[in-house]
Structure 1
Amino acid sequence: MMKLKVWGGAGEHGRSAYVLSGSDIHLLLDCGVKREGAGEYPLIEPELVLKLNAVFLSHAHEDHSVAIPMLYRLGYQGEVWTTRETAAQVESYFESWRAFTERSGGPLPYEEADYKAIRYRFLDEAAARLTWFEVVPGVEAMWGRSGHMAGSVWLLIRAEGKEIFYSGDYTAESMLLEDDSPRGVRKEAIYADLAIIDAAYGTDAESQNDKLELLEKTIRSTLDQGGKVLLPVPATGRGQEMLLWAYRTYRDTPIVIERGLLNGMERLLSSPEWLRERDGYTGRDMKAQVERFLRREDLLVPGHEDDRIRLLDTLGASIWFITDGMMQSELARWYYEQLREDPRHLVLLTGHASKGTFAERLLRQPSAYGVCAVKKLKYKVHQGCEDVRRMMSAMPARHNVLVHAVKEETDRLRSRLLEEVEAAHDQVQIHSMSASEELWF
Structure 2
Amino acid sequence: MINLHILGGFQEYGRNCFLIEHEETDTRIMLDCGVQNGQPEVYPPLTPEIAQSLDAVFLSHVHNDHIGALPLLADMGYEGAVWLSQASFAQLDPIQQHWKQKNSAPYQITAADKLRFTPFSPESKGQSIVLSEHLSFEWGHSGHMLGSVWYIFRIGEESLFYSGDMVLDSITFQTEPPAQSAFQLAIIDSGHGGQVTSRTTSEQTLLKALNDSEVSYQIPVSLSGKACDLILTIYKQLPGRRLFLDQAVRNHLADCLSYAANLNIGMKERLENLLRDERVTILTTDHASEAGIYFTANKICGTKFIPVDSAAHPELFYKAHPDQKDVEKLLQSIQAERLVFFHSKPQDFSKLIAYMPKELTLNGGVYK
For normalisation by structure 1, the TM-score amounts to: 0.76
Tell me the CA shift for residue 375 of structure 1.
8.4
**1:425 alignment partner in structure 2:** none
| Alpha-carbon distance between aligned partners in 2 of 1:351 and 1:166, rounded to the nearest angstrom | 25
**2:244 alignment partner in structure 1:** 256
**1:282 alignment partner in structure 2:** none
| Alpha-carbon distance between aligned partners in 2 of 1:186 and 1:229, rounded to the nearest angstrom | 45
Tell me the CA shift for residue 112 of structure 1.
4.8
**1:228 alignment partner in structure 2:** 216
Equivalent position amino acid for 1:165 in 2: F
1:289 aligns with 2:270: yes
Q: Secondary structure at the match of 1:351?
A: coil
**1:130 alignment partner in structure 2:** 126
Summarize the alignment of residues 377-392 of structure 1 with structure 2, pairs less than 5 Å apart.
377-392=316-331
Tell me the CA shift for residue 430 of structure 1.
5.7
Paired residues in the alignment total 364
Tell me the CA shift for residue 77 of structure 1.
1.7
**1:77 alignment partner in structure 2:** 79
| Alpha-carbon distance between aligned partners in 2 of 1:197 and 1:143, rounded to the nearest angstrom | 15
Contact 1:400 1:430 in 2 (8 A): no
1:202 aligns with 2:193: yes
**1:31 alignment partner in structure 2:** 33
1:56 aligns with 2:58: yes
Distance change >3 Å, CA 291–CA 142, structure 1 → 2: same
Tell me the CA shift for residue 18 of structure 1.
0.4
Tell me the CA shift for residue 97 of structure 1.
6.2
| Alpha-carbon distance between aligned partners in 1 of 2:346 and 2:5, rounded to the nearest angstrom | 16
**1:319 alignment partner in structure 2:** 293
What are structure 2's unaligned runs of at least 5 residues? none
Summarize the alignment of residues 344-383 of structure 1 with structure 2, pairs less than 5 Å apart.
345-351=303-309, 377-383=316-322
Contact 2:47 2:76 in 1 (8 A): no
Equivalent position amino acid for 1:5 in 2: H
Q: Secondary structure at the match of 1:50?
A: helix
Which 4+ residue blocks in structure 1 deviate beyond 3 angstroms? 93-99, 428-433
**1:329 alignment partner in structure 2:** none
For normalisation by structure 2, the TM-score amounts to: 0.91
Summarize the alignment of residues 152-231 of structure 1 with structure 2, pairs less than 5 Å apart.
152-182=148-178, 185-186=179-180, 191-220=182-211, 223=212, 226-231=214-219
Distance change >3 Å, CA 160–CA 114, structure 1 → 2: same
Distance change >3 Å, CA 177–CA 440, structure 1 → 2: closer
Judging by fraction of residues, say which structure has more helix: 1
- Give the alignment's Cα RMSD to 1 decimal: 2.6
**1:15 alignment partner in structure 2:** 15
Contact 2:192 2:323 in 1 (8 A): yes
Tell me the CA shift for residue 431 of structure 1.
6.3
Distance change >3 Å, CA 95–CA 300, structure 1 → 2: same
Tell me the CA shift for residue 94 of structure 1.
4.3
Q: Which has the higher contact order (CA 8 A, sep 6+)?
A: 1
**2:338 alignment partner in structure 1:** 399
| Alpha-carbon distance between aligned partners in 2 of 1:65 and 1:155, rounded to the nearest angstrom | 16
Q: Which moves more between the two structures, 166-175 or 293-302?
A: 293-302
Equivalent position amino acid for 2:304 in 1: L
Tell me the CA shift for residue 133 of structure 1.
2.1
1:415 aligns with 2:354: yes
Identity %: 26
| Alpha-carbon distance between aligned partners in 1 of 2:337 and 2:293, rounded to the nearest angstrom | 47
Equivalent position amino acid for 1:320 in 2: Y
Which residue of the other structure, out of 214, 217, 241, is the alignment partner of 2:229? 241
Contact 1:41 1:67 in 2 (8 A): yes
Q: Secondary structure at the match of 1:264?
A: helix
Tell me the CA shift for residue 227 of structure 1.
3.2
Q: Secondary structure at the match of 1:10?
A: coil
Tell me the CA shift for residue 418 of structure 1.
3.2
Equivalent position amino acid for 1:418 in 2: P
| Alpha-carbon distance between aligned partners in 1 of 2:95 and 2:327, rounded to the nearest angstrom | 28
Equivalent position amino acid for 1:397 in 2: A
Q: Give CA-to-partner distance per residue, 1:299-349, whole Å, 9 cap, x none.
A: 2323x42x234xx1xx34x21111x3xxxxxxx14x1xx22xxxxx52123
Q: Give CA-to-partner distance per residue, 1:233-264, whole Å, 9 cap, x none.
A: 01343222211111112222222222222111
**2:2 alignment partner in structure 1:** 2
Tell me the CA shift for residue 197 of structure 1.
0.6
Equivalent position amino acid for 1:347 in 2: F
**2:135 alignment partner in structure 1:** 139
| Alpha-carbon distance between aligned partners in 2 of 1:207 and 1:40, rounded to the nearest angstrom | 32
Equivalent position amino acid for 2:217 in 1: V
Contact 1:414 1:431 in 2 (8 A): no
Tell me the CA shift for residue 156 of structure 1.
0.7
Q: Secondary structure at the match of 2:201?
A: helix
| Alpha-carbon distance between aligned partners in 2 of 1:137 and 1:299, rounded to the nearest angstrom | 52
| Alpha-carbon distance between aligned partners in 1 of 2:119 and 2:216, rounded to the nearest angstrom | 43
